[in-house]
């Protein structure tokens, strides 16, 4: 992959067709990106990782176990409660990237993470890691047409952050209430009505997840070729004028469409060298349309707050450019998707996710659809997201410089001449 404009980069990334997690297309793209970063002067390393790419089947199994528990609960409430509790626990640990239970029963595939560091001698004990996943998502009927219109309408009206994943996860969790009441000896008729609604939701979820598992890959131009292009653009800007107190690394992970399993492997395998006090993560997720947004929280099952300091820096950049030709029109949002920032947050690292949204839209443009092609990506939106992140990183670098200079101490410019 040669250097070029943002649109050319996205075209080149999407030229690796069907780059699902653990595929040859994903590996070829990672190698091409490594050569690109090496040509720009960075040192690169490609680390092999193992991922379980069949996430729809994993969560279909969670739903099936909960359905079985719900069905047998009237006659065997203890067994039913145990099954639903096991499904809810396994699903939560999986969705939060903590631990894998049911997922471990399915096959694995080899993937890889690309790590690119600055040339030797880069300044700064603190570091910022720019990250994005290189693979593409699966499509599915649930992502287009009436289901998406209903979801967008509900998302604009609901007072809480929601997503299809949260709907089936909380349906499993809600089942614990009526089944627990049965286990405690309550045998009221209304328990059947309380129990049947989440059970029906889980049955619908099984059909939707099964259909996704059989669907082909999206072209993935916005999800997440745009994020990769933004990482490369931001790294190039920062390499041309390196921060004085920060080292800027790049991690382009595989297995993003497996609850960010590739990035999870990177964080877990490098924990000893990644100091939580001096390491920060900035992830780019679907930045190919609309205006920049910075996530205050995120997560597939429950909302985890992201780093307030990084959010403050993003807000400061947005305020500084709230009008004129260089305005970002950047706003905070609360997301319900899997991002590298959420995985980093789960392991207690400061992190922020940068994305883009069209006004009033709950999901990025082309989310998991065949229409997510390079021609649909706004390259200017990608570049705005990259510049927005770079300006926030420069503010962070300035703040780190102030912390290193004691209050009242004279800087180099104030040193006495004699």
Rounded to an integer, the average pLDDT of 291-304 is: 92
Decide: 131 and 274 in contact? Cβ < 8 Å: no
What is d(CA 258, CA 98) in angstroms, rounded to the nearest whole number? Answer: 13
Q: Which residue has the higher pLDDT, 136 or 322?
A: 136
| pLDDT score of 8 | 93
Backbone torsions φ then ψ of 217, nearest 5 degrees: -75, 145
| pLDDT score of 124 | 65
| pLDDT score of 415 | 37
What is d(CA 261, CA 254) in angstroms, rounded to the nearest whole number? Answer: 8
**Domains with residue ranges and CATH for the chain:** 6-53+109-139+217-403 (3.40.630.10), 56-105+142-213 (no CATH)
| pLDDT score of 412 | 43
Rounded to an integer, the average pLDDT of 211-231 is: 96
User: Is a pLDDT exceeding 70 seen at residue 377?
Assistant: yes
In 241-358, where does DSSP find H-type helix?
261-269, 308-320, 340-346
| pLDDT score of 405 | 66
pTM greater than 0.75 (yes/no): yes
Rounded to an integer, the average pLDDT of 217-246 is: 94
Instruction: Name 50's Cβ contacts closer than 8 Å, sequence gap at least 6.
Output: 108, 109, 110, 111, 265
**How many of the other CB atoms lie within 10 Å of CB of 398?**
14
**How many of the other CB atoms lie within 10 Å of CB of 291?**
18
| pLDDT score of 5 | 85
The string of pLDDT tens digits covering residues 53-97 is 999 999 999 999 999 999 999 999 999 999 999 999 999 999 998
Q: Which residue has the higher pLDDT, 107 or 64?
A: 64
The string of pLDDT tens digits covering residues 1-37 is 444 689 999 999 999 999 999 999 999 999 999 999 9
Rounded to an integer, the average pLDDT of 202-227 is: 96
| pLDDT score of 418 | 32
**Per-residue pLDDT band at 406 (split at 50, 70, 90):** low
SS3 of 186-238: CCCCHHHHHHHHHHHHHHHHHHHHHHHHCCCECCCHHHHHHHHHHHHHHHHHH
Longest Cα–Cα distance of the chain, Å, equals 92
Residue 234's beta-bridge partner residues? none
User: Is a pLDDT exceeding 80 seen at residue 248?
Assistant: yes
């Amino acid at each position: 992959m040669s250097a070029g404009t943002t649109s050319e980069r996205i075209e080149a990334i999407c030229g690796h067709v069907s780059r699902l997690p653990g595929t040859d297309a994903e590996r070829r793209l990672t190698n091409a990106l490594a050569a690109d970063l090496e040509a720009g002067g960075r040192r690169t390393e490609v680390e092999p990782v193992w991922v379980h790419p069949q996430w729809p089947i994993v969560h279909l199994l969670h739903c099936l176990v909960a359905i079985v528990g719900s069905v047998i609960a009237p006659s065997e409430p203890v067994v039913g409660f145990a099954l639903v509790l096991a499904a809810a626990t396994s699903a939560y640990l999986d969705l939060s990237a903590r631990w894998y239970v049911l997922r471990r029963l399915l096959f694995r595939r080899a993937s890889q993470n690309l790590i690119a560091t600055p040339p030797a001698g880069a300044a700064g004990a603190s570091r910022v890691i720019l990250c994005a996943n290189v693979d593409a998502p699966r499509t599915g009927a649930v992502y287009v047409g009436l289901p998406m219109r209903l979801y967008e309408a509900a998302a604009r009206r609901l007072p809480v952050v929601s997503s299809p994943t949260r709907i089936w996860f909380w349906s499993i969790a809600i089942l614990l209430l009526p089944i627990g009441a049965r286990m405690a000896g309550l045998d009221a008729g209304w328990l059947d009505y309380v129990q049947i609604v989440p059970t029906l939701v889980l049955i619908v979820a099984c059909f939707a997840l099964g259909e996704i598992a059989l669907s082909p890959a999206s072209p993935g131009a916005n999800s997440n070729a745009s994020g990769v292009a933004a990482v490369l653009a931001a790294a190039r800007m920062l390499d041309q004028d390196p921060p004085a107190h920060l080292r800027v690394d790049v991690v382009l992970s595989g297995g993003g469409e497996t609850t960010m399993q590739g990035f999870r492997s990177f964080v877990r395998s490098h924990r000893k060298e990644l100091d939580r006090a001096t390491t920060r993560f900035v992830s780019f997720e679907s930045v190919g349309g609309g205006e920049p947004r910075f996530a205050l929280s995120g997560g597939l099952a429950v909302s985890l707050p992201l780093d307030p300091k990084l959010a403050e820096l993003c807000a400061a950049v947005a305020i500084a450019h709230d009008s004129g030709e260089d305005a970002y029109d950047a706003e905070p949002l609360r997301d319900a998707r899997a991002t590298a920032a959420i995985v980093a947050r789960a392991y207690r690292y400061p992190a922020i996710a940068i994305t883009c949204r069209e006004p009033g839209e709950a999901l990025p443009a082309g989310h998991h659809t065949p229409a997510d092609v390079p021609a649909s990506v706004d390259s200017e939106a990608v570049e705005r997201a990259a510049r927005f992140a770079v300006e926030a990183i420069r503010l962070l670098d300035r703040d780190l410089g102030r912390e290193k200079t004691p209050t009242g101490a004279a800087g180099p410019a104030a040193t006495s001449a004699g």
